[in-house]
């Protein structure tokens, strides 16, 4: 049984949780069966222990609207992905970017189609800022692919409920399989050679944010909270890959204003490598995840694996990862159910984030105990070996029901 994975993110081009997921799932799955990965980028098969092939757009679409050009490049890449010969028995797509290729593979080759829902387009209305009318296409292609897929994997129970509400998917095709963490790689370290260059004081407490500059990740809420955070606590924002120029400018203005009243706000604009990321987690006093929408939140697992207590918004899959009072603190944002997808009271949410951060930094014994409990939880519940086995068992049921028609 050979599995064909289709993904927009794959090493070395990983910028979000979906990329982390497929990187580790593919490595673990390769121990169980034959796999092939087709992805966006210039990856070459010789650089990996199993076949990995990147695809770049053939057409530049220079005469198209800038927002729509990105959509047309998605279709260009997807057609290349599925137009190449394959002997796989099943295709497994990650993120809406590859859904069109999955649809084509299922219809043209008769392959069972599996989709993992790392996020859902109807719950990300701010994407219209980035895609314009292309957002209507992403909505359509996601709905079409999910409703025709042979199996849909939700990364949390919360995401499963969202899928049931938004799409026509019967229970027999819908399965919850959590994201995971490699605890042998993500663990607390004492080294700091990779982060010394950033300039913050490792002897003083700091709260850490890691993520893309996007509405979804809620970084603007943490920036708003800075004025309420104890001035002795350093703020380290590891934030890059902005969705739009506008949100990057909004972020920059927020940091500028916060920095006028304190000199300990550090903005790392790059997407750092894993050794650097692990050091950032390991020396942090608090990890903050202020997302306004989060189907799962792998970053919280990464922080917990490095023994860092988590202050996070009480949304989506985060509520299934962080146990309040045991591995961290959850902060309610009284999430609205329609656009604009925002905190009901942004000012209060910012204050609540700050209060939770201040409380844990002021109680170091409590914070340390939470960090250790977080490490124990990820070891017991979120191993990639278990996740790969659950996914493999799903593949087997699908390939036995629908043999390849090629």
pLDDT in tens, 67-93: 899 999 999 999 999 999 999 999 999
Q: Which domain holds residue 44?
A: 2-180+383-401
User: Which residue spans within 33-108 are E strands per DSSP?
Assistant: 34-40, 52-55, 90-94
Q: 61 with 173, same domain?
A: yes
Burial class from Cβ neighbours inside 10 Å (0-12, 13-18, 19+) for residue 96 reads buried
Whether 23 maps to a domain, the answer reads yes
Q: 108 with 200, same domain?
A: no
Q: 232 with 326, same domain?
A: yes
Structurally, the chain folds into a number of domains equal to: 2
Q: 73 with 84, same domain?
A: yes
Whether 187 maps to a domain, the answer reads no
Whether 10 maps to a domain, the answer reads yes
- The pLDDT tens digits of the residues spanning 286-304 come to 999 999 988 888 999 999 9
- The pLDDT tens digits of the residues spanning 201-244 come to 999 999 999 998 888 899 999 999 999 999 999 999 999 888 88
- The pLDDT tens digits of the residues spanning 153-162 come to 999 998 999 9
Q: 366 with 391, same domain?
A: no
Q: 223 with 362, same domain?
A: yes
Extract the tokens encoding 37. Answer: 């990965």
Percent of the residues in the chain that have a pLDDT greater than 70, as a whole number: 96
Q: 175 with 219, same domain?
A: no
Low-confidence winner among 56-65, 332-341, 378-387 (lowest mean pLDDT): 332-341
Mean pLDDT of 30-38: 97
Whether 298 maps to a domain, the answer reads yes
- Name the average pLDDT for the chain: 93
pTM, rounded to two decimals: 0.78
DSSP 261: T
CATH code of the domain in which 27 resides: 3.40.50.2000
Percent of the residues in the chain that have a pLDDT greater than 90, as a whole number: 79
Q: 246 with 370, same domain?
A: yes
Burial class from Cβ neighbours inside 10 Å (0-12, 13-18, 19+) for residue 76 reads middle
- Which residues, in sequence order, are bridge partners of residue 253? none
Distance CA 96, CA 98 (A): 5
Q: Measured in whole angstroms, how far is the alpha carbon of residue 331 from the centre of its chain?
A: 20
Low-confidence winner among 244-248, 332-336, 398-402 (lowest mean pLDDT): 332-336
Q: 260 with 273, same domain?
A: yes
Contacts of 205 (CB under 8 A, 6+ apart): 232, 233, 234, 285, 286, 361
- The pLDDT tens digits of the residues spanning 358-406 come to 999 999 999 999 999 999 999 988 989 989 999 999 999 999 875 545 4
Whether 185 maps to a domain, the answer reads no
What pLDDT is recorded for position 339? 41
Q: 7 with 137, same domain?
A: yes
């Amino acid at each position: 049984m050979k599995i064909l994975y289709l993904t927009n993110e794959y090493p070395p081009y990983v910028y979000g949780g979906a990329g982390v997921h497929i990187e580790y799932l593919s490595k673990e799955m390769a121990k169980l069966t034959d796999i092939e990965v087709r992805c966006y980028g210039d990856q070459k098969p010789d650089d990996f222990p199993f076949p990995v092939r990147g695809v770049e757009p053939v057409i530049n679409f220079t005469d198209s609207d800038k927002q729509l050009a990105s959509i047309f490049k998605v279709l260009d890449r997807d057609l290349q992905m599925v137009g190449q010969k394959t002997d796989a028995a099943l295709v497994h797509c990650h993120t809406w970017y590859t859904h069109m290729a999955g649809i084509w593979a299922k219809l043209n080759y008769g392959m069972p189609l599996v989709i993992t829902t790392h996020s859902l387009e109807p719950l990300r209305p701010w994407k219209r800022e980035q895609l314009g009318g292309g957002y209507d296409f992403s909505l359509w292609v996601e709905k079409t692919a999910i409703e025709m897929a042979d199996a849909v994997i939700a990364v949390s129970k919360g995401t499963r409920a969202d899928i049931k509400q938004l799409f026509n998917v019967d229970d027999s095709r819908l399965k919850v399989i959590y994201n995971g963490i490699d605890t042998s790689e993500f663990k607390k370290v004492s080294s700091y050679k990779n982060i010394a260059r950033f300039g913050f004081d490792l002897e003083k407490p700091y709260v850490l944010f890691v993520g893309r500059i996007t509405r979804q990740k809620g970084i603007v809420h943490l920036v708003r909270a800075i004025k309420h955070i104890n001035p002795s606590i350093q703020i380290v924002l590891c934030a890059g890959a902005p969705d739009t120029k506008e949100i990057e400018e909004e972020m920059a203005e927020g940091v500028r204003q916060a920095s006028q009243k304190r000199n300990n706000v550090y903005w790392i604009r790059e997407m750092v490598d894993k050794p650097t990321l692990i050091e950032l987690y390991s020396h942090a006093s608090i990890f903050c995840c202020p997302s306004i929408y989060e189907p799962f939140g792998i970053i919280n697992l990464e922080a917990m694996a490095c023994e860092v207590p988590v202050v996070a918004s009480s949304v989506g899959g985060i509520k299934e990862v962080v146990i309040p009072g045991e591995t961290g603190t959850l902060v309610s944002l009284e999430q609205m159910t329609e656009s604009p997808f925002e905190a009901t009271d942004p000012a209060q949410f910012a204050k609540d984030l700050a209060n939770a951060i201040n409380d844990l930094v002021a109680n170091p014994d409590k914070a340390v105990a939470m960090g250790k409990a977080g490490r124990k939880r990820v070891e017991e519940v979120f191993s990639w070996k278990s996740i790969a086995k659950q996914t493999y068992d799903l593949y087997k049921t699908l390939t036995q029901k629908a043999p390849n028609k090629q």
